[in-house]
Amino acid sequence: MNSQGEVVKDYLRKYQTVSSRKIAALIMRDIPGLFSSTEACRNSIRYYRGAIGDRNRNHLSSESYIPKIAMPEAEDEDYEPFILPADCYPIAVISDIHVPFHDQDALEIALERAIDIKAKTILINGDAIDFYMLSNFQKDPRKRNIRDEIDMLKLVLAVIRKAIPRANIVYKFGNHEDRYDYYIMKNAPELYHLEETHLDNVLGLSKNKITIVQNKRVIRAGHLNIIHGHEYQFSISNPVNPARGLYLRAKKSALVGHFHQSSDHTETAINGDVVTCWSVGCLCGLHPQYMPLNKWNWGFAEIHSDDGMFRVSNHRITNYRIV
């Protein structure tokens, strides 16, 4: 067996599921000069795969014949983070507005602060709408219907756009936005094929130049990871505080909404890296009918960049004042 054949067989054993053309490119890159051309290399690969016909295949022993393994095509879905641009700072993060159960004054305070810091990015970090009637919990039929909720959220988004016309608005869908998709998938799956039924189109987000982040994707602002909070299969809520629960799952600096509480947790890694996680307060009513007693607080966050390092200010709103 010549050296070319040994090399080809070695690569075929390593890359049995890879196409002959790609293997040829690897060999030409790794061992230049072994073959006169990529096509000559590919022909040798096809020979040892028994792909040149029965006559040539009969000349190969069972040990020399290395057929390609034809794996079925997978249906794996891409899961890539949503990367905010380097010039996205300052970022104002508002979470859990829960229209139509929002607190008007708390929301206005958060937006006024965003204007004061000249925020370049407004990140609506999930649960901007409640979709009360689509929940699996016991519902009060006297509450607002879906049409009313959608119309009110449209007004809120229009107000945000008008108040900060030049900002980049990013809307990450949370578990309450997911209620809409899950309802359609369960009760009218045929309609889900129509783009007109998708929530971003129903809300008219493109009209207000709002970018959506769906499918539980992580948002990254530099080295800070931002999620709504429902992305992990099991809750990250923690008896100490949600930020510590987030740290135990993420092990990286991260920020979360979802829990309606302002908290932070910092630990230093063995290599000296300082890791901090934050949970951000909500901007909805604090005493809902289903859970009037809770640990919630109003709040929002702002993220700045100083010499390439991010800085988070996690604000509470108490008695309608930022503290």
Tens of pLDDT along 103-143? 999 999 999 999 999 999 999 999 999 999 998 877 777 77
Residue 289 has what pLDDT? 86
Residue 74 has what pLDDT? 64
Residue 17 has what pLDDT? 84
Residue 192 has what pLDDT? 85
Residue 138 has what pLDDT? 73
Residues of the chain with pLDDT under 70: 1-2, 53-65, 68-76
Residue 61 has what pLDDT? 55
Residue 16 has what pLDDT? 86
Residue 142 has what pLDDT? 74
Distances (CA, A) of 97 to 157, 177, 257, 287: 11, 12, 11, 14
Is residue 317 within 8 Å of 296, Cβ to Cβ? no
Supply the pTM of this predicted model.
Answer: 0.78
Is residue 100 within 8 Å of 146, Cβ to Cβ? no
Q: Is residue 63 part of a domain?
A: no
The total number of structural domains that make up the chain: 2
Query: Based on the domain organization, do 129 and 39 belong to the same domain?
Result: no
* C-alpha span between 319 and 323 (Å, rounded): 9
Distances (CA, A) of 52 to 27, 55, 245, 255: 20, 8, 59, 57
Query: Based on the domain organization, do 32 and 99 belong to the same domain?
Result: no
**CATH number (domain holding residue 262):** 3.60.21
Query: Based on the domain organization, do 228 and 101 belong to the same domain?
Result: yes
Residue 57 has what pLDDT? 57
Query: Based on the domain organization, do 26 and 92 belong to the same domain?
Result: no
Query: Based on the domain organization, do 133 and 49 belong to the same domain?
Result: no
Residue 110 has what pLDDT? 98
Residue 308 has what pLDDT? 79
